[in-house]
Each structure stands twice: as C-alpha cells, then as structure tokens.
Chain A
Amino acid sequence: MANAGNFSVRRLTGFTTIAIICFLSLYTPILTLVIFSFNAGTSIAIWEGFSWRWYERAWANEQVQEAALRSLQIASFAAIVATTFATMAAIATTRTRPFRGLTAIYAFVNTPLMVPEIVTAIALLIFFASIKVATGYTGLGYLLAAHTAFCIPFAYLPIRARLESMDLTLETAAADLYATPWRAFTRVTLPLLWPGIIGGLMLAFVISLDDVVITELVKSAGQETLPTYMLGQFRRVVTPEMNAISAVFLGISILIVTLFFFLTRKRN
C-alpha cells in the first residue's frame, strides 16, 4: 500500500462535480416523488401545500390493500422457501469435499442472476401456460414458484459468504467434544450462520417484493401485486396517491436493506 496515503480519487479533476451530478440525477427524482406525495392538490408537479390526504386515500383503497397483501404473502413465502433451499445449497457447496460437478452446481444456483429477467419471464410464461392448459389451475402457485426460484441465488450469496468466513475448527471442535454431525450442525454451525440466513431472507424478501417483469408476465387475472398494480395505474390517471404508495414502498425497501447491511456487517 505504498501509495495509499498519496493517491486519492477525490483529487482527480472534476471528481466532485461528477459525483454531485450523479447523486443529483439519482436522488432528485426520488426526492421530488416523496415531496409531491404530500401535495394538497391533485397534481404531481404543482405544489399546493402540505397534506396527508393521499396517504389516507391510498390506505383506504381496497385495490391497494389487496395488492399489498398479496405482495407480502408472495414475498414471505418466496423468501422463506428460497432461503431454506439456499441454506442447503450453501452447506452442500462449502461443507463437503470438492466433488465433480461442484462448479456446475455453482453455475446452476447463480444462473438466474445472469439470465435477463425478461427472458426468464417469457420462459416462465410459456412454461406455466402449458401447465395451465393441461391442469386448468390458475391459482397463486405460479407466482409463488416463480418468485421462489429467482430469489434463491440472492438468498444463497450472504449465506455462502458467512459459511466461508466461518472457522472450520469450530465444527471440528464440536465433533471432538462428542457432538454427532447433526448436533454439531444445530448447536454450532446453525447459530453462527443465523446472521447469514437472516440476511439471505431479507434480501430475498426485498427482491420478491420489488419484482415487476416476471410477476407481470406470470400472474393470472386478478393477481396484482403492489408493483404491477402501480404500473397499471400509471397507464391511466396519475395522482399523488401513486407518490404516496411509492414513498411507503420505498421506505419499506430501505428499511429492510439497511437492516440487512447491519446484520451482515456486525458480529464478524
């Protein structure tokens, strides 16, 4: 680190300017959106004073309630199931001797991160369509399955990171102290893995909650989630009610992601 003290990216000409422009272009629209959610008028561009009316209205809107509830149901289910699978996959890929096909499994688990979302969405659409034709089932199952699938790699990453940074001699010590492999897992590995699992759970939850593209293509009639409902509304009249829903949605996402960072940083 010979140059660490001398070189600073901050001294490059124009760095500050560029940074400010980046931040402004990222956050000005979001800030504007949040500000206008408090607009007393019906415009999303002309300020007419402060009010909570759009929040009240969104809160009372039955369609919003229904979509939000569905979003939460799907996200909870997908996060829990995906995290369970991801935990098993992470243990299988870090706590066994390297075996043939291990790389293939890594690739397999992580593929959803690389495949363009729209491609996954179309593939699922076609696949599920044929099942629908064959079985006639049009329930929430398709959305649950799809969300679970694309959440797995997101849940897998923090869990695997945690497992890899864990001191293996702790598990050896447990075995030395008469713990069967199962008890060594439940008494030592699992408790130490919790931050990773919670992290994976929250990441998967947010990813599922935010998803638009796959949901839009996979959902059956009347299965709006909050994001697809909002998308639908924007095609019609836009009132600050949308801003209010967006602001709440944003708040929840930020909260979960912040928690995630705290959990994964602490106790290392």
Chain B
Amino acid sequence: MPEVDKADRRPAIEAKNVSKVFQGAAQDRVTALDAVSVTIRENEFFTLLGPSGCGKTTLLRLIAGFDFPTEGEILLYGEDIAPLPPHKRPVNTVFQSYALFPHMTVGQNIGFGLEMLGKSKAETAARVDQMLKLVQMQELKNRRTSQISGGQQQRVALARALAPHPKVLLLDEPLSALDYKLRKEMQIELKRLQHETGITFIFVTQDQEEALTMSDRIAVMSRGKILQIGSPREIYDRPAERFVANFIGETNFLEGDTVSTQADRAMVRLPGGATVDAGLPQGLKPSGKVTVVVRPEHADIVKAGQPATLAGALSNIVYFGTDTHFHVALDTGGEFIVRHQNSRGNESAFAVGEKVGIAFEPDAAQVLRD
C-alpha cells in the first residue's frame, strides 16, 4: 500500500489546553488531565500510550462527551463540541469492557447505532451484514452476545462502533482482555479495518510494543500530561524525556557535559572523555550537565584497544534466541547494555570478565530534556 503522507491532512480532533479536575470526597482533588494540547489528523491511527491512571480514559471520555473538561476546549473538524451531548457527537467508542447489550443479538447490537440515527430497516440490515462481513462474523449474527467468545465479543464491539461510520473512533484498551495470540491477530485486524474504513482511530493502550507496531503517531502520557508526540520511530529513537525513554523499550542512560550546541544537535562529552554528537529534543538549548540515552541495539561491542566511545569489562552475557545482551561494567561506573542480533556464524567471540570497548553507531545518542 502506498504510504500516504498523513501530515498534511485536516485536523479531526484538536484538544486545546484541556484540563480535567475531579473533585473527590472532602478536599482531595484529582487532576486527571493537566493542560493537554494535541491535534489528531483525519484518517490517522493515533495512540495514547501511558501507564495506568495517567488520564487516557479521561481524555477519551471528554472527546466522547461522557464528561466535560474543567478547562480548555475540544474541536471536532474545527468546531467546538462542548455544547453537544454524547448522542449528538459523530464519535463512537469501543469500550474496554465491550459493553455489548446483553438482551440483544449480535446483529441487533451492531444495528443499534444506525437504528438510533433513524436509518431505514433495509439500510440498517444491509450495513449490519456489511459490518459482519468486515469483522468476519457472518454466521454469528443471531447469537446472543453472552454466547460468543471474548475475541468475538471484541469484534462485535468494533463492528457496532464502526457501523454508523463515525468521524472518529475511540478505542479504550480494546485488546487488553485478549490472550497474547488473539491480541496479535486483532492488532493486524484493527490496522486493516482502519485502512479500509478510513476512519480516524484514537487508540488507548498501556502496551508500548502495541503502540509502536500499530500507530501512525503516539502521544506518551504520564500523570495527566502529554510528554511527547511523534511517530513510533521518533518516540523510540528520539525520546525527549526520561519517562518516555524508560517507558518504551530498554535504554542506557549516561551523564555528560555539553561542549557545544547547534540547532538540533549538541556535542556532549561522556564520562571517560569521548565526545559524541547527540540529537536534541525540539527547542532544547542545553548547557552544563545533560543526560544522554543510547538504545542497546544502537551500540556495538568491540575488543579492547579498537576505536570505541566507552570502555569497561564484560560482566554478563545473556542469550535471548534472536539476540544477545552484553552487560558491560563501565570503567567510569555504571552499567551499559549492548544488544547484538544473533545470526549463524557470529557466535560470541567475547568472554565474561574480558575488557571491551563500546562503539556507538552514528546518531545513536539523544539528549533528554530533564
């Protein structure tokens, strides 16, 4: 499929400085969202990624209209949706618990939205069949929702939310209740559905791998704030914050000193004396001490004496099948992990205890904003 450039598409959802404060019992207030601003474009597969309690569901509920922002506004195709109750918003939700109507059949569930929109019986029936086909559930049309498996319920929930062809589909951790294999299948299925329907998806997950494999763009959230928005590659290769670097994949953290800075790069002197050319998060002008991150697979282990950025002793070798992790105790203190992809004929030529060097690939280092 030709990769369309989704960057020039129209904004579908714009959140502007949206805050949500829950007034709990007595004096305690929970700031579930703290001045969140984000633009989600038409036809985008956009993921909200973050740990439990960071405000993902809250943001979805504000978009769907089940709750109202304490501050800020949300625009749908440029229009403020604050005055619209949930049943007037062209936005549908796939609930984490699916929330299928237990007193209706699979077909009736899928047709519910169309019926409420006042579509004719014939149109509804045709669309229900089309949706059933889309999620490959034709033979289960007349089953009760309590008589189908979890994965099938998931598909019905999806079909039900897609049937009225919403402008935006909200998916709140839709795959978290499924087992590993089914989850992998559904990930592919979801991507396909998004591609075929052309609907904007806002997808919530706590699983970084899921976010990386499925999304056009990811917003990483923590404690009610969006920390970084970017493509999976940007988020993974260029984490801007310690939280992002930590939450997604494995990372080595190094303390260094800024030597010089340019527009989006900086020369950083690492412990041990070597200087690296590191990427900078947008708008950061560092000076003095900085933290630099390097992904384990963006570094290589070399024999002592060969050109290297860091030096240390091999403290552990862990074999993972597809790759091997070399744990290096740095001479300047701390540990650095190098990941090496395994292939036939490159069995490790290193032994635990041996003195080694660590060589960075070009562009491996990234400065954090902290």
With beta carbons under 8 angstroms apart, the residue of B88, B99, B113 that contacts A172 is B99
Of B45-53, B90-98, B215-223, B232-240, the stretch lying at the interface with chain A is B90-98
Q: Give the most central of B86, B92, B97: most A CB within 10 Å.
A: B86
Shortest Cβ distance from A178 into B: residue: B116
With beta carbons under 8 angstroms apart, the residue of A178, A181, A188 that contacts B101 is A188
Q: What is the 8 Å Cβ interface bit string for chain B, positions 52-93, against chain A (1 contact, 0 not)?
A: 000000000000111000000000000000000111100111
With beta carbons under 8 angstroms apart, the residue of A177, A188, A192 that contacts B92 is A177
With a cutoff of 8 Å between Cβ atoms, the chain B residues found around residue A179 in the complex are: 87, 112, 116
Question: Which residues in chain A, 160-185, are within 8 Å of chain B measured between CB atoms?
Answer: 167, 169-170, 172-181, 183-184
Q: Give the most central of B88, B97, B102, B161: most A CB within 10 Å.
A: B102
- Give B66 Cβ to nearest chain A Cβ, in Å: 6
B160 within 8 A of partner (CB) = yes
With beta carbons under 8 angstroms apart, the residue of A169, A180, A191, A192 that contacts B99 is A169
Task: Answer whether A169 and B64 are a contact pair too, CB < 8 Å, given A175-B85, A177-B112.
Answer: no
- Give B116 Cβ to nearest chain A Cβ, in Å: 4
With a cutoff of 8 Å between Cβ atoms, the chain A residues found around residue B87 in the complex are: 175-181, 184
With a cutoff of 8 Å between Cβ atoms, the chain B residues found around residue A176 in the complex are: 64, 66, 86-87, 91-93, 161
Contact between A178 and B66, CB atoms less than 8 A apart: no
A175 to B89, CA, bound (A): 10
With beta carbons under 8 angstroms apart, the residue of A169, A175, A178, A192 that contacts B97 is A169
A121 to B103, CA, bound (A): 43
With a cutoff of 8 Å between Cβ atoms, the chain B residues found around residue A167 in the complex are: 97, 99
With a cutoff of 8 Å between Cβ atoms, the chain B residues found around residue A181 in the complex are: 87
A12 to B58, CA, bound (A): 54
- Give B158 Cβ to nearest chain A Cβ, in Å: 13
Q: Give the most central of A178, A179, A188: most B CB within 10 Å.
A: A178
B274 within 8 A of partner (CB) = no
B117 within 8 A of partner (CB) = yes
Task: Answer whether A173 and B103 are a contact pair too, CB < 8 Å, given A178-B116, A179-B87, A183-B116.
Answer: no
Shortest Cβ distance from B102 into A: residue: A192
- Give B58 Cβ to nearest chain A Cβ, in Å: 14
Shortest Cβ distance from A184 into B: residue: B87
Shortest Cβ distance from B103 into A: residue: A191
A74 to B64, CA, bound (A): 48
Contact between A177 and B102, CB atoms less than 8 A apart: no
B107 within 8 A of partner (CB) = no
What are 7 A-B pairs at a CB distance below 8 A? A172-B66, A176-B64, A177-B112, A177-B160, A177-B164, A178-B87, A179-B116
Which residues of B does A touch, CB under 8 Å?
64-66, 85-88, 91-93, 95, 97, 99, 101-103, 112-113, 116-117, 160-161, 164
Knowing that A170-B101, A178-B87, A191-B103 are A-B contacts, what are 10 other residue pairs whose CB atoms are under 8 Å apart, sorted by A's residue number?
A: A169-B95, A172-B86, A172-B99, A173-B95, A176-B66, A176-B93, A177-B160, A178-B117, A179-B112, A187-B112
Name the 5 nearest CB pairs between A and B, nearest first.
A177-B113, A178-B116, A173-B99, A169-B99, A175-B86
